[in-house]
C-alpha cells in the first residue's frame, strides 16, 4: 500500500473525547480534537496511576482454602462466597486506576468561522492533521507522538507570513497540580496524584520561525508568527512497581535537551521511519467502493446499506495502529483503553483485565507481524511472576505463581472486587501462553530459555499443587474458581481446565525443545490427561461447568 490509503478523516471537529483522534508512542498518548477556534489535546503518560507500591496478597488466606473447597463440593456456594469475602480476598479489595495527565489548550485569534475544514489520522504516517481556512489564510496542524524522541510534537502553520497568533496553556485534572513557566521559555504543569503517590511534570517547549512570544504565569502568547512548533515532554516519578523516586522534572529536561538540535522535520522523519518499519509489514487489499470517498463517520453509517470492503481493511490496520501506538519496548502494556484516558475514574479503572481483555489486545501482535509490540506484556508477566509467588503461597499454599483476573501498575495478583468473580486462578497461565506463542512465531531459543520457559514452568508448578481430585468424577479440577463473570464461585469451570491443559502441554513442549526438565515435563503430560475433559451437555453445547447447567437464553457479554 502507498502512503495515504489508510486514512481516517472527518469534516468537523470532535465534540466528545471518544471522537478525538489518537496518537501514541507506547509511553505517551494524545487525543486530538481538532477544535476551532480552541484546540484541545488531551494527553496521557502510561505510568500515571493512583496508589503507590503495595502488596495485595492476604497473609494467612490459605487457612480457609479447605473450607472453601468443601463448601463448593457440598453445593453451598453462598457460604463459600461469604467466607471468601471475609478472609480470602486481596488487601485492599480493589486495585488502582490509570489516570489522565493533562490537556494542552490552544486558542486561535480570528478563527471563529472556519471553512474547508478537515481533520484526519494517517495510519501509515502515524500523524494527525487539521486543515481549514480562516478568512484568506489556510491553517494547518500536524501532530505526532515520536517513539525515537519520546515527545509529542505539533507544528502549526499559516500559508501567509505573520498570520498565526494563538495562546497556549497546560492544565491537569489533578487537584494537586500547578501550572508555571520554567527556564524562561517553557510552560509546565506539575503535581502529585495522591499523598505519597506518583509525582508528575509535563513541559511544553515553543519554537518560532518568526513572530513574538510572551509568557505570563500560566500562558504563552504567540503573535504574528508564520509557523510554530510545540514540543511536549511528560514524565512521572515511576521507576518500577516498587520504586517511585524518580525526578519527573529532570526527566523532562533531559528529554528536551536530547532533541534540542532537531527541528520538526527531523523529528517527523525519524518518527515516520520508526513507525513505518512496523506498520508497513502488513498490507490488505479487499477492493474498494464509492463509500471510500466519504468522511469516516458517514462511511461507517453507509456500511449498513452498501458493502465497503476497504473499510474492513482500514479497520484491521486501525487495530494494528493502536497496538503500535500503545505498546512499544520499554512502555507499559496496552491497558483496557490502550494508553488513552481522560477520566479520573475510568471504566474498570482502565487497568489490565486478564480474563480476556488484555489477551485480546495482543492477539494481533504475532499474527499481524508486530512481535516487538508484545514486549511490554512480557515485562508485566515477569513482574507478576514475582508478586504472584507471594499470592500463590499466601492464598493457596502453593509453589509457582498465580494471577487472578486483574492487575495494575503495582502488579497486584490477588483476587479482587468480589468473591463471586474475582477468584479466577488462570489469568497468569493464559498470559504465559503469549510468551510461548511469541517463541512459536519467532523461533528465538534464547527468549524461550531466558524469559518464556521460566514463567511458563512456574505457572505450571502452581497448578501441580493447586489441582485437586473431584470426589464425584475422580478427575483433577480447578477449585475454587469462576467461569469469567458467569455463575459465581464454583469448582471446575471448563475454561480453567482448557487453559491449564494448554499450559501443561506448552510447558512440556518447551522443556523438550530446550532439552531440559524431562521428569517435570512427563509429570505435566501425565497430569494433563487427568484434568476434567470438555463435556457436551443436553443442549448439544460445550458445558461451561462440570455440571450440565448452561442456560441457552443467557445473553451475557462474556462467553466462556
User: What are the residues whose beta carbons fall under 8 Å from the beta carbon of 560, sequence distance 6 or more?
Assistant: 483, 484, 485, 486, 493, 494, 495, 544
Cα end-to-end span (Å), the chain: 38
As a whole number, the mean pLDDT across the chain is 97
φ, ψ dihedrals at 236, nearest 5°? -125, 180
Contact indicator for 352, 358 with CB cutoff of 8 Å: yes
Highest-confidence segment of 174-188, 295-309, 500-514: 500-514
CB neighbour class for 432 (10 Å; exposed up to 12, middle 13-18, buried from 19)? buried
User: What are the residues whose beta carbons fall under 8 Å from the beta carbon of 31, sequence distance 6 or more?
Assistant: 14, 17, 20, 21, 22, 41, 42, 43, 340, 342
Could you check whether 7-49+99-279 and 61-91+351-528 share the same CATH topology?
Answer: no
Q: Enumerate the β-bridge partners of residue 483.
A: 486
Please state, in angstroms and rounded to a whole number, the distance separating the CA atoms of residues 153 and 104. Answer: 12
Q: What 3 state SS string does 211-244 have?
A: CEEEECCCEEEEEEECEEEEEEEEEECCCECCEC
Please state, in angstroms and rounded to a whole number, the distance separating the CA atoms of residues 403 and 411. Answer: 9
Please state, in angstroms and rounded to a whole number, the distance separating the CA atoms of residues 68 and 60. Answer: 14
Whether 10 shows a pLDDT value over 70: the answer reads yes
- The residue-averaged pLDDT of 276-300 equals 94
| Cell reading at 363 | 492477539
Whether 1 shows a pLDDT value over 80: the answer reads no
Name the packing angle between helices 375-396 and 453-466 (round to 10°).
20
Whether 371 shows a pLDDT value over 90: the answer reads yes
Contact indicator for 374, 366 with CB cutoff of 8 Å: yes
- Among candidates 33, 40, 38, 39, which has minimal Cα distance to 13? 33
Rg over CA atoms, the chain: 26
Whether 558 shows a pLDDT value over 80: the answer reads no
Contact indicator for 340, 31 with CB cutoff of 8 Å: yes
The percent of residues above 70 in pLDDT, for the chain, comes to 99
The single residue listed with the C-alpha cell 521511519 is: 273
Per-residue model confidence as pLDDT tens digits over 484-506 = 988 999 999 999 999 999 999 99
Please state, in angstroms and rounded to a whole number, the distance separating the CA atoms of residues 411 and 422. Answer: 15
- Among candidates 2, 37, 36, 40, which has minimal Cα distance to 21? 40
Cα diameter, the chain: 84
Contact indicator for 351, 95 with CB cutoff of 8 Å: yes
- The residue-averaged pLDDT of 48-68 equals 98
Per-residue model confidence as pLDDT tens digits over 417-442 = 999 999 999 999 999 999 999 999 99
DSSP class of 451:
I
Specify the fold of 61-91+351-528: Glycosyltransferase (1.50.10)
pLDDT band for 560, please (50, 70, 90 cuts): low
pLDDT score at 207: 97
The percent of residues above 90 in pLDDT, for the chain, comes to 94
Q: Enumerate the β-bridge partners of residue 203.
A: 188, 233
φ, ψ dihedrals at 404, nearest 5°? -85, -145
Within 13 Å, how many C-alpha atoms sit on residue 454's CB side?
13
DSSP class of 302:
H
pLDDT score at 7: 96
Show the beta-strand stretches assigned E in 46-176: 102-108, 115-122, 127-134, 137-146, 151-158, 164-171
Contact indicator for 238, 47 with CB cutoff of 8 Å: yes
Whether 89 shows a pLDDT value over 50: the answer reads yes
DSSP class of 293:
G
Per-residue model confidence as pLDDT tens digits over 314-360 = 999 999 999 999 999 999 999 999 999 999 999 999 999 999 999 99
pLDDT score at 4: 57
pLDDT score at 184: 80
DSSP class of 290:
G
- The residue-averaged pLDDT of 369-388 equals 98
Specify the fold of 7-49+99-279: Beta-galactosidase; Chain A, domain 5 (2.70.98)
pLDDT score at 338: 98
CB neighbour class for 63 (10 Å; exposed up to 12, middle 13-18, buried from 19)? exposed
pLDDT band for 2, please (50, 70, 90 cuts): very low
What are the residue ranges spanned by the domains of the chain? 7-49+99-279, 61-91+351-528
Between 557 and 544, the more confident residue is 544
- The residue-averaged pLDDT of 30-46 equals 98
Per-residue model confidence as pLDDT tens digits over 117-156 = 999 999 999 999 999 999 999 999 999 999 999 999 999 9
CB atoms inside a 10 Å sphere around CB 84: 24
pLDDT band for 109, please (50, 70, 90 cuts): confident
Whether 242 shows a pLDDT value over 90: the answer reads yes
Per-residue model confidence as pLDDT tens digits over 503-536 = 999 999 999 999 999 999 999 999 999 999 999 9
Alpha-carbon separation of residue 290 from 294, 304, 410 (angstroms)? 8, 14, 49
User: What are the residues whose beta carbons fall under 8 Å from the beta carbon of 462, sequence distance 6 or more?
Assistant: 392, 396, 398, 399, 400, 401, 402, 425, 428
Amino acid at each position: 500500500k502507498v502512503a495515504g490509503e489508510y486514512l481516517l478523516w472527518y469534516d468537523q471537529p470532535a465534540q466528545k473525547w471518544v471522537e478525538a483522534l489518537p496518537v501514541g508512542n507506547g509511553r505517551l498518548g494524545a487525543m486530538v480534537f481538532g477544535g476551532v477556534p480552541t484546540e484541545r489535546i488531551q494527553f496521557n503518560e502510561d505510568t500515571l496511576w493512583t496508589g503507590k507500591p503495595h502488596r495485595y496478597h492476604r497473609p494467612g488466606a490459605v487457612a480457609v482454602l479447605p473450607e472453601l473447597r468443601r463448601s463448593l463440593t457440598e453445593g453451598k456456594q453462598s457460604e463459600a462466597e461469604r467466607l471468601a469475602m471475609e478472609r480470602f480476598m486481596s488487601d485492599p479489595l480493589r486495585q488502582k486506576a490509570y489516570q489522565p495527565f493533562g490537556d494542552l489548550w490552544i486558542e486561535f485569534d480570528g478563527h471563529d468561522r472556519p471553512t474547508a475544514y478537515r481533520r484526519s489520522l494517517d495510519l501509515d504516517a502515524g500523524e494527525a492533521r487539521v486543515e481549514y481556512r480562516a478568512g484568506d489564510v489556510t491553517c494547518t496542524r500536524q501532530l505526532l507522538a515520536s517513539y525515537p524522541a519520546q515527545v509529542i510534537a505539533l507544528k502549526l502553520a499559516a500559508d501567509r507570513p505573520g498570520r498565526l497568533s494563538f495562546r497556549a496553556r497546560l492544565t491537569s485534572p489533578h487537584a494537586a497540580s500547578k501550572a508555571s513557566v520554567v527556564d524562561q521559555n517553557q510552560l509546565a504543569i506539575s503535581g502529585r496524584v495522591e499523598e505519597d503517590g506518583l509525582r508528575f511534570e509535563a513541559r511544553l517547549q515553543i519554537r518560532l520561525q518568526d513572530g513574538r512570544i510572551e509568557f505570563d504565569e500560566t500562558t504563552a502568547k504567540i503573535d504574528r508568527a508564520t509557523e510554530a512548533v510545540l514540543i511536549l515532554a511528560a514524565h512521572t516519578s515511576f521507576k518500577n512497581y516498587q520504586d517511585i523516586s524518580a525526578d519527573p522534572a529532570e526527566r523532562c529536561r533531559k528529554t528536551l535537551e536530547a532533541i534540542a538540535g532537531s527541528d520538526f522535520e527531523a523529528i517527523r522523519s525519524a518518527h515516520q521511519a520508526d513507525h513505518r518499519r512496523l506498520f508497513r509489514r502488513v498490507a490488505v487489499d479487499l477492493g474498494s467502493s464509492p463509500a471510500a470517498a466519504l468522511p469516516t463517520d458517514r462511511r461507517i453509517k453507509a456500511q449498513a446499506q452498501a458493502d465497503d470492503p476497504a473499510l474492513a481493511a482500514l479497520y484491521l490496520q486501525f487495530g494494528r495502529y493502536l497496538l503500535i501506538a500503545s505498546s512499544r519496548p520499554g512502555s507499559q502494556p496496552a491497558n483496557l483503553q490502550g494508553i488513552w484516558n481522560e477520566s479520573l475514574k475510568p471504566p474498570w479503572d482502565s487497568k489490565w483485565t486478564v480474563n480476556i481483555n488484555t489477551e485480546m489486545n495482543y492477539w494481533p501482535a504475532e499474527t499481524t507481524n508486530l512481535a516487538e509490540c508484545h514486549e511490554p506484556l512480557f515485562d508485566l508477566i515477569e513482574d507478576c511472576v514475582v508478586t504472584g509467588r507471594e499470592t500463590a503461597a499466601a492464598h493457596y499454599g502453593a509453589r509457582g505463581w498465580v494471577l487472578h483476573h486483574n492487575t495494575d501498575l503495582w502488579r497486584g495478583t490477588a483476587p479482587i472486587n468480589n468473591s463471586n468473580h474475582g477468584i479466577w486462578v488462570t489469568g497468569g497461565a493464559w498470559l504465559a501462553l503469549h510468551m510461548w506463542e511469541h517463541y512459536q512465531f519467532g523461533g528465538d531459543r534464547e527468549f524461550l530459555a531466558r524469559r518464556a520457559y521460566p514463567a511458563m514452568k512456574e505457572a505450571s508448578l502452581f497448578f501441580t499443587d493447586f489441582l485437586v481430585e473431584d470426589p464425584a468424577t475422580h478427575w483433577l479440577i480447578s477449585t475454587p474458581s469462576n467461569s469469567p463473570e458467569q455463575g459465581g464461585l464454583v469448582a471446575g469451570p471448563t475454561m480453567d481446565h482448557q487453559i491449564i491443559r494448554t499450559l501443561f502441554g506448552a510447558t512440556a513442549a518447551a522443556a523438550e525443545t530446550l532439552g531440559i526438565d524431562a521428569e517435570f515435563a512427563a509429570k505435566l503430560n501425565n497430569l494433563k490427561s487427568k484434568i476434567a475433559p470438555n463435556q457436551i451437555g443436553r443442549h448439544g453445547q460445550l458445558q461451561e461447568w462440570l455440571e450440565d447447567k448452561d442456560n441457552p437464553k443467557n445473553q451475557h457479554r462474556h462467553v466462556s
